[in-house]
């Protein structure tokens, strides 16, 4: 039922619309028109006022056609891309892979998912496929820290299960778990002095930071938990003992309590180093998004696996170390998994996707809609 040429041509159209994160206005307008032309009710929320991005999130609703009783579903993708994403020129190779011309990203993350969802609507309507209510949430600002989804008001949502189309891996694979992420900022206050005349009167914030970091458990903590120092700011002239530095870090774990334990361990390392040297330290942490962890037996996972099986796809489940909008929707109370789309080398100029995988992604979401049917009215 999926129209291969149509969905691939739509993908090629979408990736040529400039939409680097923060600059989503043009793509939001294009998608709004496409959804409305298909008869959907479309709302753009007011999240742009909070995020400062070029557009809000789009919530498009396809009402059930009365031909079946079915659980209400939510499908989600994001409309923005990373840089360099301006002036994308997609090329389909003889090997079936779609790439950019090498000067930009491709934008299959996540416009392959968007194209698959629009094709889903086309096929449902052309073939009068029985379905319940379906919501399509296309977020802005995913690539800048899930900002659009984080600003989304749950009042807009009405679904029993959710499916994000925004994971790497072969189509048919299902991400069932992803971590909580905490953003951490550390400040260390020392005391300045002349580095050549009286260094003993100073307290080097850089030295204290080095000792604190050395005492922290970083990198791979265990199979579920990681932590990293990403940025170090401070210092100036070499003849001055540095009195201030700031560190930017993160901690992640699929088990939320382990994030709290990691933060506490990092704080202990900071406090002990500051005490040893007579410095003062401050540490602030913020949970950016919550973890989710679905078992194989949960209905949302079973629904995705059933659809994959019908298409002869693996239905393999896996855990991810990265976050996505799926984390947010789970946090908003809608059990959501993240479906693999098939793209590779995302966030680089070597990004690519097989044309056939865009078709497979559309087939998979169509099977999910069919599998969600509870019964057919007599």
Q: What amino acid positions are annotated as catalytic residues?
A: 80, 142
**Euclidean distance between CA atoms 121 and 62, whole angstroms:** 8
For 339, counting Cβ atoms within 10 Å of its Cβ (0-12 exposed, 13-18 middle, 19+ buried), the class is: buried
Question: Chain-centre distance of CA 309, in angstroms?
Answer: 26
Peptide bond into 215 cis (omega under 30): no
Closest CA to 371 of 68, 37, 126: 68
Long-range contacts of 354-358 (CB under 8 A, 24+ apart): 354/96, 354/97, 354/98, 355/4, 355/8, 355/92, 355/96, 355/97, 355/98, 356/96, 357/112, 357/170, 357/171, 358/7, 358/8, 358/11, 358/108, 358/112, 358/115, 358/116
Hey, how many other C-beta atoms are within 10 angstroms of the C-beta on 333?
A: 11
Residue 232 near residue 247 (C-beta atoms within 8 A): yes
Mapped onto helix, strand or coil, the DSSP state of residue 54 is: coil
Question: Chain-centre distance of CA 100, in angstroms?
Answer: 22
């Amino acid at each position: 039922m999926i129209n291969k040429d149509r969905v691939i041509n739509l993908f090629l159209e979408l990736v040529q619309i400039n939409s680097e994160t923060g600059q989503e206005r043009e793509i939001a307008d294009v998608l709004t028109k496409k959804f409305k032309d298909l008869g959907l009710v479309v709302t753009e929320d007011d999240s742009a006022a909070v995020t400062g991005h070029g557009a809000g999130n789009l919530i498009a609703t396809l009402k059930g056609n009365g031909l079946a009783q079915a659980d209400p579903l939510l499908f989600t993708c994001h409309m923005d891309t990373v840089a360099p994403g301006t002036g994308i020129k997609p090329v389909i190779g003889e090997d079936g892979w779609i790439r950019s011309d090498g000067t930009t990203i491709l934008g299959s993350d996540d416009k392959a998912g968007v194209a698959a969802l629009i094709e889903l609507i086309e096929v449902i309507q052309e073939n009068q496929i029985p379905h319940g209510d379906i919501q399509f949430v296309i977020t802005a600002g995913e690539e800048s820290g899930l900002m659009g989804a984080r600003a989304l008001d749950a009042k807009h949502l009405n679904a029993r299960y959710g499916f994000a189309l925004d994971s790497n891996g072969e189509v048919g694979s299902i991400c069932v778990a992803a971590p909580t992420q905490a953003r951490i900022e550390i400040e260390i206050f020392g005391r300045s002095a002349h580095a050549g005349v009286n260094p003993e009167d100073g307290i080097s914030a850089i030295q204290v930071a080095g000792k604190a970091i050395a005492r922290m458990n970083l990198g791979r903590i265990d199979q579920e938990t990681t932590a990293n120092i990403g940025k170090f700011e401070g210092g100036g002239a070499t003849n001055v003992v540095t009195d201030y530095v700031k560190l930017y870090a993160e901690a992640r774990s699929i088990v939320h309590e382990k994030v709290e334990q990691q933060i506490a361990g990092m704080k202990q390392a900071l406090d002990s180093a500051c005490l040893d040297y007579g410095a003062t330290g401050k540490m602030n942490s913020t949970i950016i998004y919550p973890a989710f962890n679905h078992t194989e037996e949960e209905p949302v996972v079973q629904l995705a696996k059933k659809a994959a099986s019908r298409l002869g796809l693996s239905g393999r489940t896996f855990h991810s170390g990265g976050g996505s909008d799926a984390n947010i929707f789970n946090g908003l109370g809608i059990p959501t998994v993240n479906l693999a789309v098939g793209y590779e080398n995302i966030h680089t100029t070597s990004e690519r996707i097989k044309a056939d995988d865009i078709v497979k992604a559309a087939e998979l979401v169509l099977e999910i809609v069919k599998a969600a049917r509870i019964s057919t009215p007599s």
